Chains A and B, each alone.
Chain A
Amino acid sequence: MDPTTTDAAPSVQTGVPRRVTKPRRQRRIAPYAFVTPGVLLYVAFLLIPIVYAIYLSFRGLRVAGGAALGRREEVFVGFDNYAKALTDGDFLAGFLRLAVYGLIAVPITLGLALTFALLLDSGVARLARFSRTAIFIPYAVPGVIATLLWGFLYLPATSPISDVSEALGFGVIPFLNGSTLFVSVANIAIWSGVGFNMIIIYTSLRSIPKELYESARIDGANELQIALRIKVPLVVPALVLTGLFALIGTLQLYGEPTTLRPMTSEITHTWVPLMAIYRDAFLRDDLSLAAAASVVLAVGTLLVSIVLLRFTQKRAFGE
């Protein structure tokens, strides 16, 4: 990286011009012109849908008059949908599954990403450029396709992994059964996510001034000590951010289990909350319940994010 861009790496500034020049009309209007397109789109495609979802969550479709094949009409149903979502054992069990999945996927993704990034940064590994590129490639593979690929690698009759384990006398590995299923689903996320997170951490490592290492070496620290005591603490902000995204990604888990569902009896329509929401909205044509569940999920995500940020001492997003 050339030094000018390194210098320009965003340090925390207030972003406010320090000297106030004489006010000009253009200058008062200009910021609004710059932010208007973004704000308009934000209102149109985020804010209004949120408000609309909240509105919908208090509505429901009911048959008027009780005819055998009567047409359903939309009516106000109060908190019925929330009561239903919050007492629905399947929906809540989905959060529990997410927790198990997240406890596997998030630490392993970040741990591997950090390890790979430190090894790349150490500058001692051979074929580093090849490895870096190879590890990054899964980022380019859409989740639906990644799941298809791993699905074939999981199913006993088509899996080379099971071929090997059988040859070694361990028998078929039941990738899609029992608690192994969580590992298998998490593995797809880990596979897709390690490279991206590795690059974020790696580029953060590269922007650390090298003089810091030099002085540590003079003090007799070895590479491992440098990595653990200097590098890791300095990339904590990157780890917090990647962790936050991994967490949000966890709560949004949908595509992988949905694509795997036809291949195994273990995955129900409500395996994770988003699958339950999709089922309610489209398979059951109950948009109101889906809206209520979406609101619950969104509020849950915000709470988890805020808690995480609190725990990590407001390191992220701080000014």
Chain B
Amino acid sequence: MRTRITTVVGLAALAATMVACASEDDSDEAAQPDGPITLDYWAWGTSQDGLVEAWNSAHPDVQVRRTDAGGPSDSSAKLVTSSRADEAPDVALVEYQSLPAMIVADVAMDITDHVGDLSDSFNEGVWSQVTFNDQVYGVPQDVGPMALIYNAARFDELGVDLPTTWEEYAQAAADVRAADPDAYISTFAPDQFGWFAGLARQAGSVWWEVDGETWTVNIDDATSREVAEYWQNLADEDLVDTGPILTPEWNAELNDGNVLAWPAALWAPGVIHGVAPDQAGDWRLAPLPQWEDGNPNVAFQGGSAVVVTTSAEYPEQAAEFAAWINSSQEGAEVQIETGQYPASLLGQEATLQSDPPELMQGQDEYWEIAAEIASSTVDEISWGPNVNVADSAFQDAFNSAVTDGTPLVDALAETQQVVVDDMRETGFSLSNE
């Protein structure tokens, strides 16, 4: 099995080389620059300018030009189309969940030879998100271990206890409703695919499994169905709000103090601070509630890696850039300063010396809690080659379920069906019925 994959990857590499040869006079496998070169880098977010600046001042011969091609989903979509047109940038930021799709679409290049020795700079769970069949396709930049952030001032005011398990969370949700009929503990947002996937992963479900060449899709397995039923109950009993989040509507409710918590990931404080700056200091970070008492494992939500594209003219330099911004001291400093939680161990250690984010002013142990959470992440990835298909199918199915009042488990089954059909049509071998 292994050999088959290697052959395919090898052929792809050969094809890439032939293209490179055709366009370059150079007959080396990868072109070597004569003088200073410029790399194009597509990335979203507030950290990127600082990272690029740090790299550029330390590497005068390899200058990087950053382009914001839109948020994660727009940027990935454009990356695929531009790569087909051979217009892709040399380096690009990609969400972990899109990485398998990028490999299948022949966008992400195998950079094992350039960055393979970086594995020690990351913990196993993080590194596994960029490694497929022992081949490395990217360098992790930031991670989003899932965590609970909550408005501690409002929790105190309403006399609600901080939940540590999902069972307690349901109780806390009821307490909030009883204490203030206008408020909800949080919102069940039916369009948050990555969020729900993270909760299902925390509960132990592996949505995409691969054994040799055969995939198994488990989006509607028993564990995921239990997670869906949990939220179904909360929604049915009106203990959580349902609807999209981060809309003007939700933001207004948040500012009014009617949204008390957000189970999300370590990047959440920056988002809330952007929407409700007046609540700085009111919020606190806590570990995500657990499905089983005593099992602190959490999954990731969001987070991204830097890939070198197959259109890159200078893969070696591009990989060097990807490695440096994500594993150097300089890079880590920029990341922390701009609110990213670094993927590298070095970066995560550096956070311990930092002040808490503005939203959490006064929570001095913020970074210790964050480090604790990050060290409890599940060490296995579960994304398949068509997460993009699953994402939009999930959003449509769950939105309809919430709107029409049909069971969430049916929406889960519908998503599963779309994903399975798509993989089968594309030609992947599947063990699903």
A contacts, CB < 8 Å to B: 61-72, 90, 151-152, 155-158, 177, 262-270, 279, 282-285
B104 at interface (Cβ–Cβ under 8 A)?
Answer: yes
- 5 inter-chain pairs at a CB distance below 8 angstroms, sorted by A residue, are A72-B104, A155-B252, A157-B256, A282-B80, A285-B105
Instruction: Verify A268–B252 contact, CB threshold 8 A.
Output: no
Q: Add 9 more A-B contacts to A71-B105, A268-B400 (CB < 8 A).
A: A66-B213, A68-B213, A71-B106, A72-B426, A152-B248, A158-B248, A262-B244, A263-B247, A282-B80
Chain A residues positioned under 8 Å from B105 (CB to CB): 71-72, 285
Chain A residues whose C-beta falls within 8 Å of the C-beta of B185 in the assembled complex: none
With a CB–CB cut-off of 8 A, which chain B residues contact A68? Answer: 5, 133, 210, 212-215, 428
Q: Nearest 6 CB-CB pairs, A to B?
A: A157-B252, A63-B427, A155-B249, A282-B77, A268-B396, A265-B399
Closest to B81 in A: A282
* Pairwise interchain contact A266-B403, C-beta atoms closer than 8 A: yes
Residues of B within 8 A of A263 (CB): 244, 247-249
* Proximity bits, B389-421, A CB within 8 Å = 1, else 0: 101100110011011000000000000000000
Tell whether, in the assembled complex, residue A157 and residue B190 are in contact, meaning their CB atoms are under 8 Å apart. no
A279 to B73, CA, bound (A): 11
Report chain A residues within 8 Å CB of B5: 67-70
Q: Is the CB of B249 within 8 A of A66?
A: no
Name the residue of chain A whose CB is nearest to the CB of B12: A71
* Residue B342 is within 8 A (CB to CB) of chain A in the complex: no
- Please give, as numbers and ranges, the residues of chain A lying within 8 Å of B175 by CB-CB distance: none
Q: Return the contact of B252 from the options A71, A158, A266 (Cβ within 8 A).
A: A158
Interface presence of B217 (CB below 8 A): no
CB neighbours (8 Å) of B256 from chain A are: 157
Which residues of chain A are near B100, meaning CB under 8 Å?
69
- B385 interface residue, CB < 8 Å from A? yes
Contact with B402, one of A65, A265, A270, A279 (Cβ below 8 angstroms): A265
Closest to B258 in A: A157
Given the known interface contacts A155-B247, A263-B247, A282-B77, the answer about A67 and B8 at a Cβ–Cβ threshold of 8 Å is yes
A217 to chain B, nearest CB (A): 54
Known: A65-B4, A68-B210, A157-B253. A266 touches B399 (CB 8 A): yes
CA of A262 to CA of B190 in the docked complex: distance in angstroms? 11
Instruction: Name the CB-closest residue of A to B253.
Output: A157
Chain B, range 187-212, C-beta contacts under 8 Å to A: 190-191, 210, 212
Q: Whole-angstrom distance from the CB of A201 to the nearest CB of chain B?
A: 36
Cα separation A71 to B132 with both chains bound (whole Å): 14
Residue of B nearest to A284 (CB): B389
Q: B191 — nearest CB in chain A belongs to which residue?
A: A265
Instruction: Please report the total number of B residues contacting A with Cβ < 8 Å.
Output: 51
Can you list, as one digit per residue, whether each of B98-127 has a CB less than 8 Å from chain A (1) or not (0)?
001101111000000000000000000000
List of B residues within 8 angstroms of A66 by Cβ: 213, 427-429
Partner-A contacts on B (CB < 8 A): 4-5, 8, 12, 73, 77-78, 80-81, 100-101, 103-106, 132-133, 190-191, 210, 212-215, 242-244, 246-249, 252-253, 256, 385-386, 388-389, 391-392, 395-396, 399-400, 402-403, 422, 426-429
Of A64, A72, A152, A284, most buried by chain B (CB within 10 Å of CB) is A284
Per DSSP, chain B at the interface is helix
Q: Report the minimum CB–CB distance from B315 to chain A (whole Å).
A: 17
Output the nearest chain B residue to A70 by Cβ-Cβ distance: B8
The answer to whether A285 and B427 touch across the interface, beta carbons within 8 angstroms, is: no
Contact (Cβ within 8 A) B249 A62: no
Q: A157 and B4 in contact (CB under 8 A), knowing A69-B133, A265-B402?
A: no
Give complex CA distance A151, B80 in Å. Answer: 31
Instruction: Give the CA-CA distance A280 to B214 in the complex, in Å.
Output: 25
Q: Which residue of B lies closest to A268 (CB)?
A: B396
A221 to B133, CA, bound (A): 87
| B213 / chain A contacts, CB cutoff of 8 Å | 66-68
* Chain B residue at minimal CB-CB distance from A67: B8
User: Which residues in B have their C-beta under 8 angstroms from that of A63?
Assistant: 104, 426-428
How far is the CB of A287 from the nearest CB of chain B, in Å? 8
Contact of B190 among A67, A265, A269, A284 (CB under 8 A): A265
Find the A residue at minimum CB distance from B6.
A67
B77 near A151 with CB under 8 A, answer no
Please indicate the chain B residues that have their CB under 8 angstroms from the CB of A284 in the complex: 386, 388-389, 392, 422
Q: Are B249 and A156 in contact (CB under 8 A)?
A: yes
Q: Are B4 and A285 in touch, CB under 8 angstroms?
A: no
Residues of chain A contacted by B392 (CB below 8 angstroms): 269, 279, 283-284
Residues of B within 8 A of A90 (CB): 396
Of the candidates B81, B242, B399, the one having the most CB atoms from chain A within 10 angstroms of its own CB is B399
Please state if A71 and B248 are interface contacts (CB–CB under 8 Å): no
**In angstroms, how far is the closest chain A Cβ from the Cβ of B391?**
7
Looking at the complex, which one of B73, B132, B214, B242 makes contact with A283 (CB distance below 8 Å)? B73
Q: How far is the CA of A215 from the CA of B415 in the complex (A)?
A: 69
User: In the complex where A157-B248, A266-B403, A285-B80 touch, is A64 in contact with B427 (Cβ < 8 A)?
Assistant: yes
In the assembled complex, how far is the CB of residue B128 from the closest CB belonging to chain A, in whole angstroms? Answer: 15
Q: Provide the bound-state CA to CA distance between A156 and B247, in Å.
A: 11
